[in-house]
Amino acid sequence: MSSAHLETPELDSEGPTLLHAITEHGGYAYVSMATLAAAGDPSAAEAAREIAWEQLHSGPWYSVDPVWRDAYSMACLHVARLHFSKSELSEALRVLDMGLIMGGTLLRKDLDSAVQKVSAVAGDASRVSELRAERDVLHQVELNEAEVLQSLPVKSLSLKIVVKRPALSLEGFLREYFVSGSPVIISDSMAHWPARTKWNDMDYLRRVAGDRTVPVEVGKNYLCPEWKQELITFSQFLARIEANDCSSADTTYLAQHPLFDQISELQKDICIPDYCFAGGGELRSLNAWFGPAGTVTPLHHDPHHNILAQVAGKKYIRLYPASLSEELYPYTETMLKNSSQVDLDNIDEIRFPKVHDLEFQDCILEEGEMLYIPPKWWHYVRSLTRSFSVSFWWSDCENQNLS
């Protein structure tokens, strides 16, 4: 390769201050290992990363001191730099992605620039054999119309269908839906997105992101006891969703992940809709949802305005207004209080007698359509085909402090 060194200007300038802060938090062993790692000791680099990893898991995520997140980023940079110097490009990328996913913000620029350099050196040619080995050329599970109806919750598509408006103007959106807090499907507003064609091409996704490590969910949904999370490469994830049986307990889903902060090439394929600036607020998050047919997000609500853009595939979505929260039996636990105890796929009418007669709106969100979901509206989502969606959350000027 032309250069076997990763430049880390942020680490070089902020490193001494960060090490001092870690020392003040009792991280003497980490500082000792990180110092050796900076001098090129691979065992010390891994040891420093392990020490920081243990600190990240010493309690609930919100209670972890930010200095240890930055320490983990620092250790990942040291480890990745050593892998890169030995042309171990896949390992370097994996470690850098772990730094992006689990690390702090102090060294983010170094992590991003390192990813760009490693990816550029790796190039398309170095991935070909690995990617071909991972591919089994298995067809996507597509559902015909009868199977779709059978897979949906009871009473689906029998009450009020969400209104659909082609090429809705921003003024019309504000006046007719945003102010009143009413859901609406906006069609004919994503044709200019490169993602509309590119993300239906699995080879393109492998080429752009195949070696990157991403967090995925495995299992029916996050409320099931067998549900778990894994860290795998994007190529491994694509192979799973191509092979996935929608009825499998091992269904793998990339859900609510800031993929575009991690992989900037994919962010170039989408555009932030003008609707997301309604209310004078600010964009809070931009997340990806990607998985096979049959993936389910259980009935829940979010605090922000939400536009769900359906880039590829189809989804069934059911919506209940915020006024029906009590009748939807939310969990009482703090972490799940925005989720309903009701399993719409198998409603227990003895435990939840109020649900059956509740009115709702629903729809099948087609490729190229956006759905506006007002704050606090309950929604259930089921992928009917392989699906790639993007969610845009934003707050308005009256609710800047919503979390």
Helix (H, G, I), strand (E, B) or coil at 155: coil
* Predicted local confidence at residue 147, as pLDDT: 59
Contact partners, residue 150, CB within 8 Å, separation at least 6: none
pLDDT classification of 397: cutoffs 50, 70, 90: low
Helix (H, G, I), strand (E, B) or coil at 176: helix
d(CA 115, CA 343): 41
Is a pLDDT exceeding 60 seen at residue 310?
Answer: yes
Tell me if 111 sits within 8 A of 76, measured CB to CB.
Answer: yes
- Sketch out the chain's domains with CATH numbers: 9-122 (no CATH), 145-399 (2.60.120.650)
Burial annotation 268-282 (CB, 10 A radius, 16+ → b, else e): ebbeebebbebbebe
Q: Could you tell me whether strands 296-300 and 361-365 are parallel, antiparallel, or unpaired per DSSP bridges?
A: unpaired
Q: At what angle do helices 42-56 and 89-102 cross, to 10 degrees?
A: 30
d(CA 355, CA 387): 28
Burial annotation 163-174 (CB, 10 A radius, 16+ → b, else e): eebeebeeeebe
Query: H or E stretch including 387?
Result: strand 387-395
Count the Cβ atoms, other than its own, within 10 Å of residue 359: 9
d(CA 191, CA 168): 14
d(CA 160, CA 301): 19
**Local structure of residue 327 (DSSP, 8 states):** G
* Predicted local confidence at residue 2, as pLDDT: 41
d(CA 349, CA 330): 15
d(CA 304, CA 226): 29
Q: Could you tell me whether strands 378-383 and 296-300 are parallel, antiparallel, or unpaired per DSSP bridges?
A: antiparallel
User: How close are the terminal C-alpha atoms of the chain, in Å?
Assistant: 46
77-115 per-position pLDDT tens digit:
999 999 998 888 989 999 999 999 899 999 999 999 999
Burial annotation 70-79 (CB, 10 A radius, 16+ → b, else e): bbbbbbbbbb
DSSP E strands in 139-197: the ranges are 160-161, 164-166, 184-187
Over residues 268-286, mean pLDDT: 89
pLDDT classification of 244: cutoffs 50, 70, 90: low
**Local structure of residue 218 (DSSP, 8 states):** E
Tell me which residue of 102, 89, 21 sits closest to 61, measured CA to CA.
Answer: 102
CA dihedral 160, 166, 167, 170 (to 10 degrees): -30
How remote is the C-alpha of 117 from its chain's centroid?
Answer: 24
Segment 120-125 long-range contacts (CB within 8 Å, at least 24 positions apart): 121/1, 121/2, 121/84, 121/89, 122/89, 122/90, 122/93, 122/211, 124/207
pLDDT classification of 399: cutoffs 50, 70, 90: low
d(CA 167, CA 186): 6
Is a pLDDT exceeding 80 seen at residue 142?
Answer: no
197-220 per-position pLDDT tens digit:
999 999 999 999 999 999 998 877
How remote is the C-alpha of 43 from its chain's centroid?
Answer: 32
How much is the mean pLDDT over the chain? 86
d(CA 232, CA 162): 37
How deeply is 66 buried, as exposed, middle or buried, from its count of CB atoms within 10 A (0-12, 13-18, 19+)?
exposed
Query: For the chain, how many residues are written?
Result: 403
Over residues 320-340, mean pLDDT: 90
DSSP calls for 225-239: TT-EEEEEEHHHHHH
31-78 per-position pLDDT tens digit:
999 999 999 999 999 999 999 999 998 887 778 899 999 999 999 999
Positive or negative torsion for Cα 402, 305, 290, 128:
negative
**Local structure of residue 324 (DSSP, 8 states):** G
